[in-house]
Amino acid sequence: MTKILEPKKQNSIFRRPSSETGIWSWITTVDHKKIGIMYGYAAFFFLLIGGLEALVLRIQLSQPDNNFLSAAEYNAMFTMHGTTMIFLAIMPISAAFFNYLLPLQIGARDVAFPRLNALSFWIFIFGGIFLYSTFIFGTAGAPEGGYLDEEVSWLGSAPNGGWFGYQPNAGLKYSPGTAMDFWALGLQILGIASLISAFNFITTIINMRTKGMRFMRMPVFTWMTFAVSFLLAFSLPIIAIALFYVTFDRNFGTSFFLVEGGGDPVLWQHLFWLFGHPEVYILILPAFGIVSEVLPTFSRKPLFGYAAIVFAGFGIAFIGFGVWAHHMFASSISTVAQAGFGLSTMVIAVPTGVKIFNWLGTIWGGKLKLNTPMLFSLGFIGMFVIGGLSGVTHSIVPADTQQTDTYYIVAHFHYVLFGGAMFGIFSGLYYWFPKVWGKMYNETLGKIHFWLMLIGFNLTFGPMHWLGLQGQVRRTWVYAKETNLQFWNVIVTIGAFIIALSIVVFMINWIFSKRNGEKAPFDPWDARTIEWSIPSPTPVWNFSTAPNVKSLDDFWHSKYDEDEEGRAVRKPTADQLLIDLEEDGLNPKEEIILPNPSYFPIVLASGLPLLGYAVIFKSIALAVVGVILILSGSFGWGTEPLEEGH
């Protein structure tokens, strides 16, 4: 029988939460696996909302001079679509992977600070709710002398200055009402969540690796988590300060970004993109990591150029801080700066190319198994290369000034963020599905999902390249009939609905397989990394005994030898090993002490949105309640028994 020692009940001011099932077990959990699953579901929920917003945009653009949406509603929808997809969908879904997999891949029992981990999850949830509460509490009025003569509906009462919030357009004068305050403060709250998780993951990777798990033996996904955590840690502070300035400008009469008060609107662009460009890599590097796990497994070959891929990842992360002004070629920066940033933009294509060639080298000559995760990874490479190539065209300044603010840009970043990041994420969702649920997904539905999504994706974003080059501008709610842009716009809209259909297939597969799927074999993919050397679904204690890692791809080497020609030969002992591992993984031999659940992360997190509302509604009372919640959360946190740590 399993022996998990209940943590000693120690003197504490409050009763400790003790539920192991039911809703309270989720609210008070500090288990990285449960937190990861919650991150995943919450992010997917926001992905659906962001997707609905995209569909609404596409319905509007399917006809020239359409009036399905008003201009105000269109502005709100594209702003919320971008903000949602970046901050509430892709980032947290990557966080779901980090949470669930990172401790498993380095052989740890949990992250370094389990309660902080819960805290960052709850802050993310409250930040998302806060941002979306703009539809209820927010107002967006007409700018003075602006185009809006009708009443703004509830749909338009959301942030409407773009996810980039350019100043002074997003300032009080041109975006009156409280909607953009919801945006600025919402991102501030979400940023805190990401910062906390970044500290947590960096510390975990540096200090919590199991025996023998040296840095150069870590799986590539762990490496990419490491790189992303550094990017988060060093880029989020910049946007946080810039958002402070916006909040002060809009609420307390300062003029950091307002020319009439001596401020500098271009400074906002610099600060925003100094965060915003690393953010691009924050979104894509997790997918790089996932693909680097999936490709070797399904090619039955080791990853080609492990060290090169790792260093290329960090090269991208590092150079990523030196290319921000290529988003600003159309602003007032000098020609010297334009040339410099054009060059650095070309340079960053080099480590990216290194990765692409390494992936191709990995599948070259491999015995490919085309399961759904592999299909998504291959799709990822193809789509990401297209997006990467159109990205390089932006580094040529004269061309970029033509492309700026057209659908060509929209096509480019959807190829890297959807064709790249999302394809990688779906690959990972299928790949680790058996690990998380202990069941197999339905392969046929998975393949239908892939092909529908690949076709829908290319129909949606491919034509945007030529729409953009023909001059269709971004962020504009109508186009004139005389422009002859309608045909491709209709195709694009059809493509968008095919993507929606593919998501429905995915959801059916997920729900059905999770409930009725076949039981997953112990090691369904004949995988390489140590998270597959424990039973599925993962036991609460992860590893019953700390693994002792002797090489890169340790689990693979415990199953396979090499013959003289370097081909993998399955060891005769491999099958018995798997049986033993399952037996051992389910029955720990010694007592295991797990961190205690806690009420306080959610209490502390719930104070932050109240501080946001306090600024928006200029209410001291709300601020006081918020501070009380934060302080009582911290106080309770501090008085919980210390022996378990953190």
Q: Is 478 in the site for another protein (CB under 8 A)?
A: no
Between residues 213 and 496, which has the closer beta carbon with respect to another protein?
A: 213
Q: Is 435 in the site for another protein (CB under 8 A)?
A: no
Between residues 266 and 508, which has the closer beta carbon with respect to another protein?
A: 266
Count of Cβ atoms closer than 10 Å to residue 55 Cβ: 16
Residue at token pair 């424990």: 534
Q: Contacting another protein (CB under 8 A), which of 271, 319, 348, 448?
A: 271
Between residues 66 and 254, which has the closer beta carbon with respect to another protein?
A: 254
Q: Is 314 in the site for another protein (CB under 8 A)?
A: no
CB 224 within 8 A of CB 288: yes
Between residues 474 and 646, which has the closer beta carbon with respect to another protein?
A: 646
Between residues 101 and 354, which has the closer beta carbon with respect to another protein?
A: 101
Which one of the spans 159-167, 263-271, 376-384, 497-505 is the region binding another protein (CB under 8 A)? Answer: 263-271
Least separation in angstroms between residue 272's CB and another protein is 12
CB 88 within 8 A of CB 43: yes
- Distance (Å, rounded) from C-alpha 32 to C-alpha 595? 11
Q: Is 256 in the site for another protein (CB under 8 A)?
A: yes
Q: Is 248 in the site for another protein (CB under 8 A)?
A: yes
Per-residue x/- marks for another protein, 107-136, CB under 8 A?
A: xxx--xx-----------------------
Q: Is 263 in the site for another protein (CB under 8 A)?
A: yes
Single out the residue of 289, 321, 279, 240 nearest to residue 413, CA to CA.
Answer: 279
Residues 6+ apart with CB under 8 A from 551: 217, 557
CB 86 within 8 A of CB 43: no
Least separation in angstroms between residue 96's CB and another protein is 22
Phi-psi category of 526—alpha, beta or left, where left has phi over 0 and alpha has psi -120 to 50?
left
Q: Contacting another protein (CB under 8 A), which of 91, 96, 179, 213?
A: 213
Residue at token pair 């290369």: 385
Q: Structure tokens of 207?
A: 């200090």
- Distance (Å, rounded) from C-alpha 47 to C-alpha 493? 18
Between residues 270 and 355, which has the closer beta carbon with respect to another protein?
A: 270
Q: Contacting another protein (CB under 8 A), which of 173, 214, 481, 618?
A: 214
Between residues 106 and 310, which has the closer beta carbon with respect to another protein?
A: 106
Least separation in angstroms between residue 643's CB and another protein is 7
Q: Is 4 in the site for another protein (CB under 8 A)?
A: no
Q: Contacting another protein (CB under 8 A), which of 86, 187, 238, 604?
A: 238
Single out the residue of 516, 520, 513 nearest to residue 582, CA to CA.
Answer: 520
Q: Contacting another protein (CB under 8 A), which of 21, 22, 136, 252?
A: 252
Buried b (16+ CB within 10 A) or exposed e, 461-476: bbbbbebbeeebeeee
Q: Is 173 in the site for another protein (CB under 8 A)?
A: no
Q: Structure tokens of 627?
A: 């501070």
Least separation in angstroms between residue 14's CB and another protein is 16
Cα–Cα distances (Å) from 571 to 166, 455, 523, 561, in that order, read 60, 42, 15, 6
Least separation in angstroms between residue 623's CB and another protein is 14
Between residues 405 and 644, which has the closer beta carbon with respect to another protein?
A: 644
Least separation in angstroms between residue 209's CB and another protein is 4
Between residues 194 and 502, which has the closer beta carbon with respect to another protein?
A: 194
Q: Is 592 in the site for another protein (CB under 8 A)?
A: yes
Which one of the spans 212-220, 304-312, 461-469, 491-499 is the region binding another protein (CB under 8 A)? Answer: 212-220
- Distance (Å, rounded) from C-alpha 55 to C-alpha 68? 12
- Distance (Å, rounded) from C-alpha 84 to C-alpha 82? 5
- Distance (Å, rounded) from C-alpha 239 to C-alpha 67? 35
Q: Structure tokens of 341?
A: 């940033």
Residue 208 Cα to chain centre, angstroms: 23
Q: Contacting another protein (CB under 8 A), which of 21, 565, 590, 620?
A: 590
Q: Is 241 in the site for another protein (CB under 8 A)?
A: yes
Q: Contacting another protein (CB under 8 A), which of 63, 169, 255, 486?
A: 255
Single out the residue of 612, 619, 614, 621 nearest to residue 191, CA to CA.
Answer: 612
Which one of the spans 55-63, 142-150, 253-261, 344-352 is the region binding another protein (CB under 8 A)? Answer: 253-261
Least separation in angstroms between residue 504's CB and another protein is 41
Q: Is 392 in the site for another protein (CB under 8 A)?
A: no
Alpha-carbon torsion angle 167, 171, 176, 181, nearest 10: 110
Q: Is 210 in the site for another protein (CB under 8 A)?
A: yes
CB 349 within 8 A of CB 392: yes
Report how many residues bind another protein under the rule CB under 8 A: 56
- Distance (Å, rounded) from C-alpha 224 to C-alpha 197? 14
Relative to beta strand 4-5, strand 592-593 is parallel
Q: Is 223 in the site for another protein (CB under 8 A)?
A: no
Looking only at residues 181 through 200 of this chain, which bind another protein when binding is defined by CB under 8 A? 195, 198-200
Per-residue x/- marks for another protein, 533-572, CB under 8 A?
A: -------------x--------------------------
Least separation in angstroms between residue 642's CB and another protein is 3
- Can you say whether the dihedral through the CA atoms of 427, 432, 437, 442 is positive or negative? positive
Q: Is 282 in the site for another protein (CB under 8 A)?
A: no
Vertex 297, ends 292 and 298: CA angle to 5°?
105
Q: Is 233 in the site for another protein (CB under 8 A)?
A: yes
Least separation in angstroms between residue 345's CB and another protein is 23
Residue 23 CB-density burial (10 A; 0-12 exposed, 13-18 middle, 19+ buried)? exposed
Which one of the spans 25-33, 57-65, 529-537, 590-598 is the region binding another protein (CB under 8 A)? Answer: 590-598
Q: Structure tokens of 380?
A: 């990822």
- Distance (Å, rounded) from C-alpha 408 to C-alpha 484? 17
Between residues 144 and 590, which has the closer beta carbon with respect to another protein?
A: 590
Residue 62, phi then psi, degrees to nearest 5: -75, -20
Count of Cβ atoms closer than 10 Å to residue 484 Cβ: 11
Least separation in angstroms between residue 351's CB and another protein is 23
Between residues 30 and 578, which has the closer beta carbon with respect to another protein?
A: 30
Q: Is 646 in the site for another protein (CB under 8 A)?
A: yes
Residue 152, phi then psi, degrees to nearest 5: -85, 125
- Distance (Å, rounded) from C-alpha 584 to C-alpha 271? 52
Q: Which residues of the shown chain bind another protein in the complex (CB under 8 A)?
A: 107-109, 112-113, 195, 198-200, 202-203, 206-214, 233-238, 240-242, 244-245, 248, 252-256, 261-264, 267, 271, 546, 590-593, 635, 638, 640, 642-646
